[in-house]
Amino acid sequence: MAHKILLIEDDVFVSDIYSRELKKGGYEVVIAGDGLEGVEMAKADKFDLILLDIMMPKKTGIDVLKDVRVPGFLNKDTAVYLLTNLGQGSIIKQAIEIGAQGYLLKARVLPSQVLQAVNDYFEKGPMKIDLKEFGLE
């Protein structure tokens, strides 16, 4: 059975690109078009991984992450990888402290590299986040 991924991304073009790449890799992909919809989908169905944008309408990715990590939430223990263009160290640190296990900057990765990061997660576990890359220790 294919791993099920929730992709929370407000840009339809971007979500389509990542969704197609992930589906080619054999994953089942469910798309939420904003943060609020993403939280509702994560309340209703179990996922193996959540890919989460930060800058979105209705609810930011940081707020989505806070909601998902609440005790008793259906996907509380589901890995969350941020997939965003925001590379500010303070946001990255905040996301990691809340419970993000991965961080991919859209401007630095091709869709095939996102697929590879997802494959690596399922084969090897969560990525190692190097805070030094973002000017943090």
| Domain definitions of the chain by residue range | 4-126
Contact 111, 21 (CB under 8 A): yes
Output the CA angle 119-33-61, nearest 5 degrees. 70
pTM of the model: 0.90
Give me the residues paired with residue 104 across strands. 83
- Tens digit of each residue's pLDDT (9 = 90 or more) over 1-27: 689 999 999 999 999 999 999 999 999
Class in CATH terms, 4-126: alpha beta
Residue stretches of the chain with pLDDT short of 70: 1, 86-89, 129-137
| Segments in the chain forming alpha helices (H) | 12-24, 35-44, 61-68, 89-98, 111-124
